[in-house]
Amino acid sequence: MNTNMTRRQWAVATGGALLAGAAGAQDFPNKPIRIVVPQAPGGGTDILARNLAARMTELLKQGVVVENRTGAGSLVGTEFVARAPADGYTLLMGGIFNMVMNKALVKNLSYSPENDFVSLGFVSAYPFVLLMRPDLPVSNLAELAAYAKARPGKLSYGSGGMGTLQHVWGAILTSSLGLDMIHVPFKGAAPAHQEMMGGRLDIMFDNISAAKPHIQAGRLKGLVVSSAQRSAQLPSIPTVNETGLTRFEGESWFGVFAPAATPAPVVARLRETLAAINREAEFLARVERDGGRMLNIAPAQQQTFLREEIDRWVGSVSRYKVSAD
């Protein structure tokens, strides 16, 4: 009898919790949502998050705000969301930088990209372009490789800092070409661009959205892009793979994530909202103007995409011995 009562009480309690969760999800959202950006205001990640927040506010009929939480690269903000209440009101603006490269570079990472988060939608992806100072006497990647090999340890490649995608991909690309070049980290990409324009830095692998204005104005040269296909924004620049010198294919992608235990109905509502934004012509045009493309990955494939990206770049970082130390 006591056992039956215990089971009955457990069933009632469990059923009540499920009903409460369902009721909470049914009226979601009933208060403002925040998207945590683990980087400083004004950068590409922050701008994309604010564009999303504005559209989500309209579609969800509830305020969606961006909160910048910086520190330790992108670790502070990302870990904050991983430990936040799993109720759909604290979301993460994630990307290859904090969901993949941190896994590849940071020992004893304080969060698990695969296990601590659920993906709500992958938004957009942007190729990198290999930039070169305009007075360097080469006109393509083959000539650059020959020029650098004739001057081992003399040429430099820049980045926005140790462990940034510019650093990691620059190291992988130059190493795969067999080049001995010096890495020069800066505090952000803009100072590196200025050093190249001043003739004091030789090359830099950077996001096309930041690099395109300099290339189009003739201030810097673009040699190759990192994507599988040429960029519609810079159609005359070949892909790395087209050159036949090495194999390199990658894009800097962005997505929105929630803590892993977020209720399924809340996840579904947020996924529907982000999918609707991805279908908007105006949002698509904005991404394409910046040199990117929309990422329309079905929910059932999103976790697979993340795992494949982690496996690929963790392997490359290990193979080419790239370190953020």
For the stretch 285-322, pLDDT in tens is 999 988 899 998 999 999 999 999 999 999 999 999 99
More confident residue, 289 or 99: 99
Task: Phi first, then psi: give them for residue 84, nearest 5 degrees.
Answer: -75, 160
d(CA 158, CA 146): 19
Q: Structural domains in the chain?
A: 33-125+251-319 (3.40.190.150), 127-243 (3.40.190.10)
Alpha carbon dihedral 268, 85, 260, 163, in 10-degree steps, equals 120
In this prediction, residue 188 has a pLDDT band, given cuts at 50, 70 and 90, of confident
Structure tokens at 169: 């991909």
Measured CA to CA in angstroms, residue 100 lies from 11, 194, 311 at distances of 41, 29, 9
DSSP, residue by residue, 100-153: IIHHHH-TT-SS-TTTSEEEEEEEEEEEEEEEE-TTSS--SHHHHHHHHHTSTT
Task: Please say whether the beta carbons of 293 and 122 come within 8 A.
Answer: no
Q: Is the pLDDT of residue 250 over 60?
A: yes
Q: Is the pTM of this model over 0.85?
A: yes
Long-range Cβ pairs for the range 232-239 (8 Å, 24+): 232/288, 233/208, 233/288, 233/289, 233/291, 234/129, 234/208, 234/291, 237/129, 238/141
Whether the predicted pLDDT of 220 surpasses 90: yes
The model's pLDDT over 116-141, given as tens digits with 9 standing for 90+, comes to: 999 999 999 999 999 999 999 999 99
